[in-house]
């Protein structure tokens, strides 16, 4: 337990150090595109905005200074496959974003969708020595969680307390100061393959950047595209990415489950490419221009010209109807959704009080997807777009930027304050020194 | 076989380009380049030039030449000195003191220093020096006007109203129009002496001069070696009182050797020998015979 405690804390301090400097980069490494945002934090205190305006989960504190996207290279299933190529793509994105922002980025927070995320629920409980719950008790209960054996080549990315219970009262978000005898915690822990993280780390190092944190892109899209009551009451965010489809379940503003289906928009494109015997680039263009999942009578008559340059006239001058295209795409989309449903069922999503499903990610722009998803997932489905944040250009407000926007929100308002607790409790000497320094500052 | 299309360039920046861009976005580096580099470009060659002695000397010589050539232009040359408001002797003295060999460049003339030197002359109260166009150095002089003759210990000297020396005088007769003072330190009390002379108008015909006694007070000397010993404080008032007394009683015409006015309460007379005799005969007729 203590080792990942240290990890989480190290990541948190690193991110806070980056925030101190005011400039932080957001790197969304996807299978199809790599997006880079440059955030500028200008330190407006959250509560200083005026009457009735809250801190807005930290959104008011930063603005997006630079945005760049580039086609991703060397990434497969959301994992780095060819380091050199990915490094180039990252360089392209970072350089363009830096140029737009006019500042140099040193710290980046990255998210990726692959690497087999797996969720674990942990519980821990301690007896309280005193009647009230102190910060030290929270640190103790966090440290008391039993960590399952998640394998030698796996690594913890998120570990957050979801729920605190005091004696028989459950559902506490902050038990500090409350009276009870026994404090227990439910924690959600997410592990990913170590090699993917290490590759990412190496790749970012090679771009002269420093990694100030990593997140799962399913988590990031959930943060940005679920509205507040959905996050509170329970909802699943399904992110249709290029190589993987991530899903994250939120309740009480905390993520409780994450998984990823290793299929995505790239597979649909490759199906089209195989089915229509056209190159991938053309298949991608046809998919984005004419794609859909619900065939109607009109679609039988709508013919799509396939302009090829192979030299075989008959082959090049073919025309396919839109219904044919839909016929190729739909089985794959159905397969993905079936798989997602299986994951949701495995996670016990139907026992949540509210079962809203939000579709986001670049792949969710397929027309008619919400109808198909409603049929397969059987629940209330809506299309999700990321929250609007300050300074974001119009071109980057689509659902394909939901994980990047979510990562911005995560950087501005991370939910891992709980990892500070033990620091305060353990190093009392350091704290008194800090107090002495503060006294000096205030009095001189 | 050649590919039909030119190979597409990799859109990604090379590592070097990427690093250069990041370097360029570093604030310190930008500052260094924006400020440091121009400063280096300006100061570097200067420093390189200055480090070599020969080059600096050469530069110095060339600057000197240039300066000379400008200074020696006819527009800046001064050819003659014109002295205004001065008598011939003083003008002669001024020429001697300034000692300029014309023509000279106006850059080489130190007018302030020359003015001070001219004003050091006793006969000159103030001098103004202006270089006029046409190469004329104009010296406007205000001479000291002799107001008094001072018989010093070994010579006669002319003093102006402030007691400043104007010139020596070979004989009193040459300036018989001026009053005479004598005695040690008399020159330091010339204004007072002039006031006294003004006040002594009624006895001007008999006045021989003022004698400074002990560097603190005056004796007014009349003919017949008659002395009026004036007090240290307010001598003019004392003199006026005496003159009033004289107008009434013709005191000074009598045989009085000295009138001592130093005691403000009463004048004290010292009688002449005849007067004493007369007094003895008149006041105490028997006394003389008895003794």
pLDDT tens digit sequence for A362-404: 888 888 888 898 888 876 899 988 888 888 888 888 898 999 9
Q: What's the whole-number average pLDDT of chain A?
A: 83
Q: Does the distance separating the beta carbons of B11 and A91 come in below 8 Å?
A: no
Bridge partners, residue B231, by sequence: none
Nearest to A91 among B18, B25, B26 (CB): B18
The 8-class DSSP code of residue B177 comes to T
Q: For residue B39, what pLDDT is reported?
A: 95
Contact B26 A102 (CB under 8 A): no
Global pTM value:
0.64
Q: Which residues of B212-243 are buried (b: 16+ CB within 10 A; e: fewer)?
A: bbeeebbbbbbeeebbbbbbeeebeebbeebb
Per-residue confidence (pLDDT) for residue A423, from 0 to 100: 42
Q: Please, is A195 exposed, middle or buried when counting C-beta atoms within 10 Å of its C-beta (0-12, 13-18, 19+)?
A: middle
By Cβ distance, the residue of A89, A99, A208 closest to B12 is: A89
Q: State the smallest CA–CA distance between residue A48 and chain B in angstroms.
A: 30
Report in angstroms the alpha-carbon separations of A235 from A249, A351, A357: 6, 11, 6
Asked if the structure places residue B80 within a domain, the reply is yes
How many angstroms separate the Cα of B194 from the Cα of each of B13, B113, B174, B220, B235? 103, 34, 20, 12, 12
Reading the block at residue B258, the tokens are 């000295």
> Which phi and psi (to 5°) does residue A65 adopt?
-100, -30
Mutate to test the interface with A, among B10, B11, B12, B25 (most CBs of A within 10 A): B12
Note if the bond before A2 is cis, omega within 30 degrees: no
Question: Could you tell me which of B139, B148, B130, B223 has the C-alpha nearest to residue B186?
Answer: B148
Average pLDDT over residues B190-210: 80
* Structure-token match 């580099």, residue found: B37
Whether the CB-CB separation of A380 and A350 falls below 8 Å is answered with no
The chain-wide mean pLDDT, for chain B, equals 81
Does a structural domain hold residue B109?
yes
| Rounded mean pLDDT, B173-190 | 79
Three-class HEC string of chain A? CHHHHHHHHHHHHHHHHHHHHCEEEEEEECCCEEEEEEEEECCCCHHHHCCCCCCHHHHHHEEEEEEEEEECCCEECCEECCHHHHHHHHHHHHHHHHHHHCCCCCEEEEEECCCCCEEEEEEEEEECCCCECCHHHHHHHHHCCCCCCCCCCEEEEEEEEEEEEECCEEEECCCCCCECCEEEEEEEEEEEEHHHHHHHHHHHHHCCCEEEEEEEHHHHHHHHHCCHHHHHHCEEEEEECCCCEEEEEEECCEEEEEEEECCCHHHHHHHHHHHHCCCHHHHHHHHHHHCCCCCCHHHHHCEEECCCCCCCHHHHCCEEEHHHHHHHHHHHHHHHHHHHHHHHHHHCHHHCCCCEEEEECHHHHCCCHHHHHHHHHCCCEEECCCCCCCCCCHHHCCHHHHHHHHHHHHHHCCCCHHHHHHHHHHCHHHHHHHHHHHHHHHHC
Mutate to test the interface with B, among A104, A107, A207, A208 (most CBs of B within 10 A): A104
pLDDT at B266 over 60: yes
B56–chain A nearest CA distance, Å? 46
Considering chain B, what percentage of its residues have pLDDT values greater than 90? 7
Specify if B34 maps to a domain: no
Residues of A in contact with B12 (CB under 8 A): 70, 88-89, 91-92
**Averaged pLDDT, A264-284:** 90
CA distance A427 to A138: 16
* List of chain B residues whose C-beta atoms are within 8 Å of the C-beta of residue A91: 12-13, 15, 18
* Structural domain includes residue B1: no
Q: Give the pairing of strands A62-71 and A33-41.
A: antiparallel
pLDDT confidence tier of residue A227, bands split at 50, 70 and 90: confident
Average pLDDT of span A44-58: 52
CA distance B37 to chain A (A): 21
The pLDDT, as a whole number, for residue B38 is 94
Q: For residue A94, what pLDDT band results from cuts at 50, 70 and 90?
A: very high
- Choose among A335, A341, A336: nearest CA to A355: A341
Q: How far is B2 from chain A (nearest CA, A)?
A: 17
Same domain flag for B131 and B211:
no
Domain count, chain B: 2
Q: What is the ipTM of this complex?
A: 0.74
Instruction: Output the pLDDT for position A426.
Output: 46
**Pairing label, strands A381-383, B124-132:** unpaired
Is B170 within the bounds of a domain? Answer: no
Is residue B153 in a domain? no
Please tell me the distance in Å from A408's CA to the nearest CA on chain B.
22
- Domain closes at, from B114, B143, B172: B143
Helix/strand/coil for B130: strand
Domain for residue B54, yes or no? no
By C-alpha distance, the chain B residue nearest A93 is: B12
**By residue range, what is the domain housing residue B128?**
74-143
pLDDT score for A57:
54
Residue B256's pLDDT band (cuts 50, 70, 90): confident
Helix (H, G, I), strand (E, B) or coil at B250: coil
Number of residues written out for chain B: 291
Share of chain A above pLDDT 90, in %: 16
| Banded pLDDT at A37 (limits 50, 70, 90) | very high
User: Looking at the predicted structure, is the pLDDT value of residue B128 above 60?
Assistant: yes
Cα angle for residues A346, A352, A354 (degrees, 5° grid): 130
Smallest CA–CA distance from B12 into chain A, residue:
A92
Instruction: Give pLDDT, residue B52.
Output: 84
Q: Given an 8 Å threshold on Cβ–Cβ distance, is B25 in contact with A103?
A: yes
CA distance A94 to chain B (A): 9
- Residue ending a domain, among B143, B158, B180, is B143
Contact (CB, 8 A) for A107 and A18: yes
Task: Characterise A389 by phi-psi region: left (phi > 0), alpha (psi -120 to 50), beta (else).
Answer: beta
Predicted local distance difference test score (pLDDT) of residue A363:
87
Which of residues B143, B178, B198 is at a domain's end? Answer: B143
Q: CB under 8 Å to A179, separation ≥6 — which residues?
A: A131, A132, A133, A166
Identify the weakest region by mean pLDDT among A141-150, A272-281, A341-350: A141-150
Distances from the Cα of B11 to the Cα of A69, A73, A96, B7, angstroms: 12, 11, 11, 12
Q: Is A118 in contact with A259 (CB distance < 8 Å)?
A: yes
Confidence of residue A67 (pLDDT cuts 50, 70, 90): very high
Distance CA A276, CA A273 (A): 6
3-state DSSP assignment of residue B57 = helix
So what's the pLDDT on residue A63?
A: 85
- Chain B hits for A88, CB-CB cut-off 8 Å, are 10, 12
B19 to chain A: closest CA residue:
A208
Query: In terms of pLDDT, which residue wins out, A52 or B97?
Result: B97
Q: How far is CA A240 from CA A102, A146, B148, B227, in A?
A: 32, 33, 121, 135
> What CATH code is carried by the domain that includes residue B87?
3.10.20.310
Residue of chain B whose alpha carbon sits nearest to that of A105? B22
Listed range (A414-423, B61-70, B248-257) with the worst mean pLDDT: A414-423
pLDDT of A267 reads 92
Query: Do residues A4 and A147 make contact, with C-beta atoms less than 8 angstroms apart?
Result: yes
Give a yes or no: residue B22 inside a domain: no
By C-alpha distance, the chain A residue nearest B10 is A88
pLDDT of A271? 92
């Amino acid at each position: 337990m203590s080792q990942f405690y240290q990890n989480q804390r190290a990541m948190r301090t690193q991110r806070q150090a980056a925030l101190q400097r005011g400039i932080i980069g957001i790197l969304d490494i996807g299978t199809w595109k790599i997006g880079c945002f440059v955030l500028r934090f200008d330190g407006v205190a959250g509560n200083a905005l005026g009457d009735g305006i809250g801190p807005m989960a930290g959104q008011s504190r930063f603005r997006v200074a630079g945005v760049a996207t580039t086609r991703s290279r060397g990434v497969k299933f959301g994992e780095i496959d060819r380091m050199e190529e990915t490094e180039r793509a990252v360089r392209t994105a970072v350089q363009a974003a830096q140029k737009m922002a006019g500042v140099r980025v040193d710290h980046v927070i990255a998210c990726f969708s692959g690497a087999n995320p797996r969720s674990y629920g942990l519980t821990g409980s301690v007896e309280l020595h005193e009647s009230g719950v102190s910060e030290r008790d929270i640190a103790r209960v966090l440290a008391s969680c039993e960590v399952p054996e998640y394998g030698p080549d796996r690594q913890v990315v998120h570990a957050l307390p979801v729920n605190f219970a005091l004696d028989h009262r459950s559902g506490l978000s902050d038990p500090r100061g409350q009276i009870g005898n026994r404090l227990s915690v439910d924690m959600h822990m997410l592990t990913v393959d170590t090699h993917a993280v290490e590759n990412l780390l190496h790749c970012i190092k090679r771009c002269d950047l420093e990694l100030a944190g990593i997140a799962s892109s399913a988590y990031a899209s959930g943060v940005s595209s679920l509205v507040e009551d959905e996050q509170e009451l329970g909802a699943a965010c399904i992110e249709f990415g290029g190589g993987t489809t991530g899903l994250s379940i939120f309740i009480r503003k905390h993520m409780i489950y994450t998984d990823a289906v290793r299929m995505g928009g790239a597979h649909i494109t490759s199906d089209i490419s195989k089915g229509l015997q056209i190159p991938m680039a053309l298949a991608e263009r046809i998919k984005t221009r004419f794609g859909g999942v619900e065939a109607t009578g009109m679609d039988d008559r709508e013919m799509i010209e396939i302009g090829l340059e192979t030299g075989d006239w008959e082959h090049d001058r073919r025309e396919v109807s839109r219904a044919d295209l839909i016929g190729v795409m739909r089985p794959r989309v159905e397969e993905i959704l079936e798989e997602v449903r299986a994951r949701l069922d495995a996670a016990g999503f139907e026992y949540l009080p509210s079962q809203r499903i939000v579709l986001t990610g670049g792949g969710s722009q397929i027309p008619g997807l919400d109808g198909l998803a409603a049929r397969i997932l059987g629940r209330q489905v809506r299309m999700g777009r990321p929250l609007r944040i300050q300074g974001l250009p119009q071109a980057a407000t689509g659902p394909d930027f939901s994980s990047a926007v979510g990562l911005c929100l995560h950087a501005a308002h991370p939910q891992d304050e709980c990892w500070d607790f033990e620091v305060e409790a353990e190093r009392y000497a350091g704290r008194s020194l800090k107090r002495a320094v503060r006294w000096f500052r205030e009095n001189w | 076989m050649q590919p039909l299309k030119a190979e597409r360039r990799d859109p990604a920046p090379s590592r070097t380009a990427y690093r250069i861009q990041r370097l360029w976005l570093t604030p310190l580096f930008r500052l260094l380049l924006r400020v440091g580099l121009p400063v280096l470009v300006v100061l570097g060659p200067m420093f390189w030039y200055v480090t070599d002695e020969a080059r600096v000397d050469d530069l110095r010589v060339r600057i000197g030449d240039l300066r000379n050539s400008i200074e020696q232009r006819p527009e800046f040359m001064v050819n003659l000195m014109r002295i205004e408001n001065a008598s011939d002797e003083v003008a002669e003295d001024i020429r001697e003191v300034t000692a300029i060999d014309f023509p000279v460049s106006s850059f080489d003339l130190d007018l302030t220093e020359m003015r001070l030197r001219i004003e050091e002359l006793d006969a000159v109260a103030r001098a103004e020096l202006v270089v006029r166009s046409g190469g004329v150095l104009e010296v406007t002089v205000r001479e000291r006007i002799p107001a008094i003759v001072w018989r010093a210990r070994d010579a006669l000297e002319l003093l102006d109203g402030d007691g400043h020396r104007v010139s020596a005088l070979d004989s009193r007769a040459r300036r018989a129009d001026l009053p005479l003072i004598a005695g040690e330190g008399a020159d330091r009390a010339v204004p007072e002496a002039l006031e006294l002379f003004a006040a002594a108008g009624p006895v001007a015909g008999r006045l021989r001069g003022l004698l400074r006694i002990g560097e603190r007070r005056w004796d007014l000397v009349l003919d017949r070696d008659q002395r009026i010993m004036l007090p240290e404080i307010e001598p003019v008032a004392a003199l006026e009182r005496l003159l009033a007394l004289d107008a009434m009683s013709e005191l000074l015409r009598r045989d009085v050797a000295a009138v001592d006015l130093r005691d403000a309460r009463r004048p004290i007379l010292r009688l002449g020998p005849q007067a004493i005799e007369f007094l003895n005969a008149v006041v105490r007729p028997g006394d003389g015979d008895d003794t």
